[in-house]
Chains A and B, each alone.
Chain A
């Protein structure tokens, strides 16, 4: 097995930064890597633990019982029962890991249980009220009806057929001592019970032993859920469950067939947009604190238009465009409605929904999305540091450590006689800062043509904007790459294998619900290689992801 590829470059970078910035980095332990960089230790740790898979089948890692996120929970309840998605305010807000809300380690607290109980009772009431007898596919007088109802609803709630003793467990909810003899009370209680079942609240990716040491293969139904939650953010539909039942999901071609159907479905488009929201860290956009005195034009309407722009742009690139990193970063069009066109200084397209218009010299591509620019900025100013970190962490997957404990991390005060760039100059002077900030700020300076809410500016405080910068060490030992402005930065990034490996890494995190570790090296490397072979087509990378054996195999 040779692992000399792009992924190794990204890991090697970690070692460099560990040297330059001292502390441990991301999910890696620099100490364990010695001075050799990531590629050596990656080769030593045989992928998959059992060593059964070739590297080009990816590296299986740990998989878990995955608690539904609030978003997944609401969508699943709605799909299961044909009700409106229930409000989820009662459920504690997820803690995010690197902006991803679907941490596979998430646990259930008493607050969760209380919320699930309340919502389940409410939803059961609604479902029976709305559908009545239609909800139950049999006659209440039929003594077998309770069992049939539980089997039918349970198989969808648990996303797999129920075992006989499981059905018995929920059959007890039709006990007259609980229903007072009211059949539909029994129906409500079964709905409540199933919505409280751990088999509903978690989706399992634990699989069954393959016979190889420490290796498990996901059941066809677990594969179906992994596909539907990954590609739709909700439970499998009947066709997917049928595919699981018929053995269609037992091989990569069958998985691919279903995955293409899901990915290209409107729900797939929405979920693809969700991946970009979490990857780009733009979820805060709508509620971000912005100083209304400094940014009076940054209204709710503009925030929503920016969110709509991002979704329309992402959908266009992935589904209607080339789906390439190049197009993502360098598109010569933008999606704006009239309001956002005004905010961007573009001619109004005569539309209240985002439509594609020529980008002009000031816009184009992911880096110039208003959502990205406003999300990675301060309430009252741009932020070379946050935007530099955005590129370093989200686009290059190189995580600098936090500042050392003894430095003052207060941003320099606003100064009407200086540019932001000038005020942040201390970082390059003070040796306590420059070790890491030389990797961050020169990237962020490239964004200075855009203020804290993403509006274009050619001057700041009547001083001309300097948007030149450089990419320091895009790979270990690489010479600095100078650039001027976001168009040149985007061009440089789009040509780097580090960027494409990083997108792959983010997608693997999003679908696995956990940060990528060295254990995932073969998955990242293989998907990156395939991405290069496919001409950088991300739509196909999403498919390649589920074709890997590593998608259906887990290790301890």
Chain B
């Protein structure tokens, strides 16, 4: 039993009585200011089949081939971006994971933007995962600093408690002291005092290390003290009643293949809620991990995802069919996520209107095993900055070579109102991606 602070009000309802998975009862204290653009990163492992994924046709009026076809209903919410290369770093699955959000630099864009945009939110950024540590995992897209990978939180229940643990309790007449809050606050204040005492004796890198620690303490202190605004009085989540069996030593309950889709749904719901309630401006979600060993039940294949990605140059092979089935599964998840974001009010429209979502992966084509012509997508309108329903092709558009994906990272930061002109690798130039924004 873990002691919970100010969390008793959170209702984890059973399935009965709530029809829509995200039927929120949102009492909104505030709404996001127009132009307050949020960012979400979604990682889907192991790439695609080149000729079955990339759109066919021009910038508009294009169609989707077999592997991406299920996205047709949400095509107007998406921007397909091809022809970007992830230069530098290692040309492997793990190397792709490490550089897709860092651009081969030290810090990943989710962490960086969290630092830039998170000052007024309870959480600078949240990193959620779906079985990212299953079978030892193969790394994270999130990096705090050089070599400092931050693995996502794979347990949706603990992630929910962490993210929503700081919501205000409803007003009750003369409730008396909130002892749990008073005590946690005292404890963390001691920790901050002790840290400051130690920090004052240090210089250089050790002081930097404690600065990061201090930021983290202050973030949690703010949560405990209720310093941060949030716009949700209460939320409904996990209507499916997912629970964790403490006896599941390995794999953990949340890593088990039979729960893969549900855990993914809970993490998507959680990300949408966290963004929508103003608890964070930056969320990342990693599905599985590169070289994914996961077998998603119900797809008509028992071949693990990564194994199917080595489909052997024959797009009709049974491996290719399995690989397509995995990507179709992820297309459904993308559609679900976008629908939830579209249904969530925000600013002058929906959360989807106020957000830019980056769908990324670690490799281009599972069989070619390359980092050129990456199958990236954006979604959301970024507060009106991003025109969706487009397909953009950057192959050989940088002096005969592919544009670097780091320009896309710059553009994402710019859409979020963070004025940078380079992020990570700059070997093929700086600035945002030409022609992406108006």
Contact = CB atoms under 8 A, between A and B. Distances in A.
Partners in one complex: yes
B251 to A, nearest CB: 8
Interface stretch (A106-114, A434-442, A532-540): A106-114
Interface residues on B, range: 35 or more
B194 interface: yes
Contact of B304 (A185, A379, A407): A379
Contacts of B204: 556
Contacts of B304: 289, 291, 379
Contact of B135 (A113, A175, A288, A408): A288
Interface residues on A, range: 35 or more
B405 to A, nearest CB: 13
B148 A95 contact: yes
A404 B371 CA distance: 12
A189 interface: yes
A199 B198 contact: yes
A185 B91 CA distance: 55
Contacts, number: 177
A197 B190 contact: yes
Nearest to A163: B197
A170 B189 CA distance: 10
A407 B150 CA distance: 29
Given A169-B194, A288-B135, A117 B91 contact: no
B328 interface: no
B220 A114 contact: yes
Interface in A122-137: 122, 125
B300 interface: no
Interface in A364-415: 379-380, 402-410, 413
A111 B371 contact: no
Contacts of B310: 410, 413
A124 B38 CA distance: 39
B147 A117 contact: no
A189 B183 contact: yes
Contact of A173 (B91, B153, B186, B293): B186
Contacts of A206: 202, 206
A140 interface: no
Interface stretch (A48-56, A86-94, A460-468): A86-94
Contact of A169 (B3, B184, B190, B206): B190
Contacts of A405: 87-89, 91, 371
A160 to B, nearest CB: 13
A107 B187 contact: no
B428 interface: no
A46 B365 CA distance: 49
B188 A117 contact: yes
Contact of A109 (B95, B133, B212, B252): B212
A175 B213 CA distance: 26
B216 A108 contact: yes
B315 interface: no
A509 interface: no
A191 to B, nearest CB: 10
B90 interface: yes
B29 interface: no
B2 A110 contact: no
A42 interface: no
Contacts of A107: 144-145, 148, 209, 212-213
Given A172-B190, A189-B186, A105 B209 contact: yes
Nearest to A408: B369
B387 interface: no
Residue among A93, A97, A122, A283 facing the most chain B CB atoms (10 A cut-off): A93
A340 to B, nearest CB: 20
Interface string A154-176: 00000000000010011011010
Interface string B46-61: 0000000000000000
Contact of B194 (A197, A287, A288): A197
B133 A93 contact: yes
Interface string A166-208: 1001101101011010000100010011001111000000100
B87 A65 contact: no
B370 interface: yes
Contacts of B188: 113, 117, 196
Nearest to B215: A110
A103 interface: yes
Contact of B216 (A103, A110, A197, A284): A110
Residue among B92, B144, B216, B250 facing the most chain A CB atoms (10 A cut-off): B216
A403 B194 contact: no
B316 interface: no
Interface in B269-309: 293, 304, 307
A117 B186 contact: no
Contacts of A407: 91
A118 interface: yes
Given A114-B220, A286-B250, A402 B95 contact: yes
Nearest to B199: A198
Residue among A114, A185, A284, A408 facing the most chain B CB atoms (10 A cut-off): A114
Contacts of A402: 89-92, 95
Contacts of B206: 64-65, 206
Nearest to B304: A289
Contacts of B210: 65, 198
Contacts of A178: 182-183, 186
Contacts of B191: 193, 196-198
Interface of B: 1-3, 87-92, 95, 123-124, 127, 133-137, 140, 144-151, 153, 155, 158, 162, 165, 177, 179, 182-184, 186-188, 190-191, 193-195, 197-198, 202, 204-206, 209-210, 212-213, 215-217, 219-220, 250-252, 293, 304, 307, 310, 312, 367-371
The 8 A-B residue pairs whose C-beta atoms are closest, nearest first, are A289-B293, A95-B149, A402-B90, A121-B3, A196-B191, A108-B213, A93-B151, A289-B135
9 contacts: A65-B210, A93-B137, A95-B149, A107-B145, A111-B150, A178-B182, A287-B136, A288-B136, A289-B293
Given A283-B136, A291-B304, 14 more contacts: A92-B151, A93-B151, A109-B144, A117-B188, A192-B183, A193-B186, A193-B191, A196-B188, A287-B251, A289-B135, A289-B304, A291-B307, A405-B88, A408-B368
